[in-house]
Amino acid sequence: MKGIARGFTLIEISIFLAVTGALFAAVTVGVQNSIYQQRYNDTVQSFADFLGNLYAEVANVQSDIDGGRKDGAIYGKLVTFGEEVAGDGNEGKQVIHVYNVIGKATNSWDTASGNTLELLKGLDANVLRDEDNSYRTVGYAETYTPKWVAKVQGEEFEDFEGSLLIVRNPKSGTIQTFAMDDVVEVSKYLEPSNYVSGKNVFEYAEEKNYLTERFVPKTVDFCINPNGDGEYSNRMNVRLIANAHDASGVEIISFDNNDSKCRSGD
């Protein structure tokens, strides 16, 4: 006698669908988390590479060909975090500015004595030039924006503000790194209303002598927030060690490292 064919009951089908749905949800969440983490890792690495590449550019000694100073030499980079640039089309985005620091070309044996910043000031090093009753950037200027929606912040969950100088000593050729907490607002000097004849941006900033007095060697911790806003506890930090001489001075520190400055509530 043949057995009677038996189908699935409604309860069995419901259980099957519930288990399948739970497995699918778990896999989807896992994939999304993996993609999210990979994007964040890429963002952190991209910012670290951005800083590291600046050292390679400064080490590549070159004269200024297109910047308007044929007798000039590129001595380094000024990096600004937090410049307010009206109408630049980047509202809501974090834009980091990089400017060439160019001064008079000189042979090392003709260079006077002094520390790096004093020597650069003596060579009229600047990021702007006075031209036709207006300012223009000296040489090449560029910008960097963190990938995805991430933000470079300080330890207090606010967008990082400050300035870096990565420059080459005109006499020894050694690269040195200096930082300060204030922003050198280069962009405001590019506006015609802020033109002042014959002034150097470092000399005519709100507090004078940025180039020789305000910049100091110090370690800087950049906290990379994956969300861009709000308090996110697991922020990795990219550290630029005091007076770094090359890209080895850029370090990535995970949020679970006891040396991290970017953990919430610690």
Write the pLDDT tens digit of every residue in 184-218.
Answer: 888 887 777 776 666 666 655 444 445 667 889 99
pTM: 0.83
Residue 165 predicted with pLDDT over 60: yes
Q: What is the chain's alpha carbon radius of gyration, rounded to the nearest angstrom? A: 26
Percentage with pLDDT > 90 across the chain: 32
Asked if residue 163 lies in contact with residue 180, where contact means CB atoms within 8 angstroms, the answer is: yes
Which residues, in sequence order, are CB contacts of 33 under 8 Å at separation 6+?
Answer: none
Residue 31 confidence (pLDDT): 47
Residue 68 confidence (pLDDT): 46
Split at pLDDT 50, 70, 90, the class of 257 is: confident
> What is the per-residue pLDDT across 98-109, written as a single tens digit (0 to 9) for each?
999 988 887 765
Residue 84 predicted with pLDDT over 60: yes
Which of 180, 221, 179 minimizes the C-alpha distance to 44?
Answer: 221
The total number of residues shown for the chain amounts to 266
Structure tokens that stand for 118 in this block: 């004093």
Mean pLDDT of the region 139-143? 85
Residue listed under structure tokens 């297109």 = 66
